[in-house]
């Protein structure tokens, strides 16, 4: 019996960790029921390499933006630049962008500027904004809400591991929360409780690979196949059968990432 189909909504297949066996990693994902992956470009100058991976592998889509931890080291993205990239048929999201004050609080102002550029690009394209948030909950909630009031847009809080207050602020805007391996760790009960209180139709699953491998692979390199381990924990969190939870997260992904859902490969 084949595994239920799920999507790894956020991974980094361009990272050196996968350089020598990318095709094998993708094949293992398919065997595990992970039939789609969105690989994320975190520095726009690397977009051609990330795009090439999506073009070479049918199950792979991609998104691009400037990661907040790189915002001070990279040229500031422009709305026009992001809108132009979005014309590619397999480009399905804006980001990742956001705020990270844990390691890079000294660049908070440029991070905020970069975030607002990405919000505007999401508003212009209709593609989902992909948010990285760490130790910046108040500013994150404020900027996302201010932007939404200016012009509504769609968004996922990737690898969500922030406070219940930020979860509530995001859900109040009809945004999505994405569950990563962090939610499977034994000490993450508080985070699982936050997910359990969210509507199940606002939840995605991801790996953020090569980081944050869930048990039984914790401490090792993560890869898209392991989305299935996180999704099984997600099913437990919501008290659902795994197949039902998988189907629900698939419907959620299709609703948010409409361009990926509608994609048909050229004959």
What are the pLDDT digits (tens) for 252-263?
999 999 999 999
Separation between Cα atoms, residue 27 and residue 182, nearest integer Å: 24
State the pLDDT at residue 3. 86
List C-alpha distances in Å: 132 to 5, 22, 60, 88, 181.
Answer: 26, 24, 21, 23, 15
State the pLDDT at residue 136. 97
Kindly give the interhelix angle for 227-237 and 242-256, rounded to the nearest 10 degrees.
Answer: 110
State the pLDDT at residue 264. 80
The helix/strand/coil state of 253 is helix
Radius of gyration of the chain (CA): 17
List C-alpha distances in Å: 101 to 116, 133, 146.
Answer: 16, 9, 20
Run of H or E including 224: none
State the pLDDT at residue 151. 98
Separation between Cα atoms, residue 168 and residue 173, nearest integer Å: 9
State the pLDDT at residue 55. 98
State the pLDDT at residue 267. 40
Separation between Cα atoms, residue 72 and residue 107, nearest integer Å: 6
- Given a cut of 70, the residues of the chain with pLDDT beneath it are 1, 265-267
What are the structural domains of the chain? Answer: 6-262 (3.20.20.140)
State the pLDDT at residue 208. 98
Beta bridge partners of 177: 157, 203
Give all strands (DSSP E) within the chain, no chain letters. 6-11, 34-41, 60-64, 91-100, 129-134, 155-157, 176-179, 203-205
Separation between Cα atoms, residue 51 and residue 60, nearest integer Å: 10
């Amino acid at each position: 019996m084949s595994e239920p189909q799920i999507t790894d909504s956020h991974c980094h297949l361009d990272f050196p960790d996968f350089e020598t066996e990318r095709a094998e990693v993708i094949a293992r994902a398919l065997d595990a029921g992970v039939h789609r992956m969105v690989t994320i470009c975190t520095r726009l100058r690397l977009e051609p390499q990330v795009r090439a991976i999506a073009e070479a592998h049918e199950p792979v889509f991609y998104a691009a933006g400037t990661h907040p931890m790189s915002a001070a080291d990279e040229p500031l993205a422009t709305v026009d630049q992001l809108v132009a990239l979005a014309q590619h048929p397999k480009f399905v999201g804006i980001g990742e962008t956001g705020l990270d004050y844990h390691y890079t609080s000294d660049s908070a102002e440029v991070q905020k500027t970069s975030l607002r550029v990405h919000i505007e690009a999401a508003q212009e394209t209709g593609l989902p904004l992909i948010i990285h948030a760490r130790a910046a909950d108040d500013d994150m909630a404020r900027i996302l809400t201010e932007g939404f009031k200016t012009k509504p847009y769609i968004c996922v809080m990737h690898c969500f591991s922030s406070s219940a207050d930020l979860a509530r602020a995001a859900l109040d805007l009809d945004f999505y929360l994405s569950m990563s391996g962090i939610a499977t760790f034994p000490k993450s009960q508080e985070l699982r409780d936050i997910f359990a209180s969210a509507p199940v139709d606002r939840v995605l699953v991801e790996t953020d690979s090569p980081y944050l491998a869930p048990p039984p692979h914790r401490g090792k390199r993560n890869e898209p196949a392991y989305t299935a381990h996180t999704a099984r924990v997600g099913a437990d969190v919501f008290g659902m059968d795994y197949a039902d939870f998988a189907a629900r997260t698939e419907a959620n992904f299709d609703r948010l990432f409409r361009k990926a859902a509608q994609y048909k490969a050229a004959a």
